[in-house]
Amino acid sequence: MTNENLRRARASLERIAEEARNAGKYLASAQSEQDKERGYIPAELFTKCDTFGSALKTAVRYLQRQEGSRHNLNYDSVAERIGVTQGIVARWAADYVTPSLYHLIKLIEELKIDPRVIKSEMFSKSKNKKHKK
């Protein structure tokens, strides 16, 4: 290949890369709009969450800020919404135990967590402490 052909090929690749970046930005923007319409908590808030407990705490704190004192959202009210005790929710938030699939789905629905932010690795980091006598 001559230098001129290399220059043209490089320019073509740069154009294609720029188009791909723009398409990615457009798709991310469209996904963000869909998430807003669904009422999901913004996914970027969960980027540093490496356990389910940290994701649960992030969701509750976000909703507390959004809903303010009108709804008095806390672990008690989350527990009431999904039909468990406050202690169970606190244990989930502390990563001592992981919720069952049924309760995980209820949490995702009630707290408006985008299911795509929940990763299987989050559950492998659970402390799963046993009571020692």
pLDDT digits over 83-116, tens only?
A: 999 999 999 999 888 899 899 999 988 888 888 8
Residues with pLDDT less than 50, the chain: 130-133
23, 65: one domain: no
72 and 25 inside one domain: no
Are 60 and 17 in a shared domain? no
> Do residues 73 and 19 share a domain?
no
Query: Do residue 90 and residue 124 come from a single domain?
Result: yes
d(CA 89, CA 18): 46
Q: Are 119 and 90 in the same domain? A: yes
Asked if residue 98 lies in contact with residue 88, where contact means CB atoms within 8 angstroms, the answer is: no
20 and 46 fall within a common domain: no
- Count of Cβ atoms closer than 10 Å to residue 61 Cβ: 12
Task: Look at the pTM and tell me if it is higher than 0.85.
Answer: no
Range(s) of the domain holding residue 95 = 42-133
Looking at the fold, whether 90 and 64 belong to one and the same domain comes out as yes
Are the C-beta atoms of residues 50 and 125 closer than 8 Å to each other? Answer: yes
Q: Residues 12, 47: one domain?
A: no
CATH number of the domain that residue 85 is part of: 1.10.260.40
Tokens 């991310």 appear where? 28
